[in-house]
Amino acid sequence: MGNLDWQIVIVLLAVGIAVLSLGRRVYRLVKGNKGADCGSGGCGSCSTNAAPQQDTRELPLVTLNNDFSDRA
């Protein structure tokens, strides 16, 4: 293991950072935030996290024709 190429070291660092990031995300998902208050990002019921008004207009459906039989 004394002959590590610099590219292998960079790849191992990148994979390690990705694994740590994913592990942290899973831990936070499983742990949850039971006693969180507004501003901690855990409740989702704060007025600042409320969903914006959705546009209820209907858009027309566009049909694309992919019949290329007229081309030689």
pLDDT digits (tens, 9 = 90+) for 32-44: 865 555 555 555 5
Pair 46, 39: CB distance under 8 Å: yes
Structure tokens, 16: 């390690």
Cα 66-69-72 angle, rounded to 5 deg: 120
pLDDT digits (tens, 9 = 90+) for 7-28: 999 999 999 999 999 999 999 9
- Model confidence at 72, pLDDT cuts 50, 70, 90, reads low
Phi and psi at residue 66, in whole multiples of 5°? -115, 35
Beta carbons within 8 Å of 38's beta carbon, 6+ residues apart: 46, 48
Whether pTM > 0.85 for this model: the answer is no
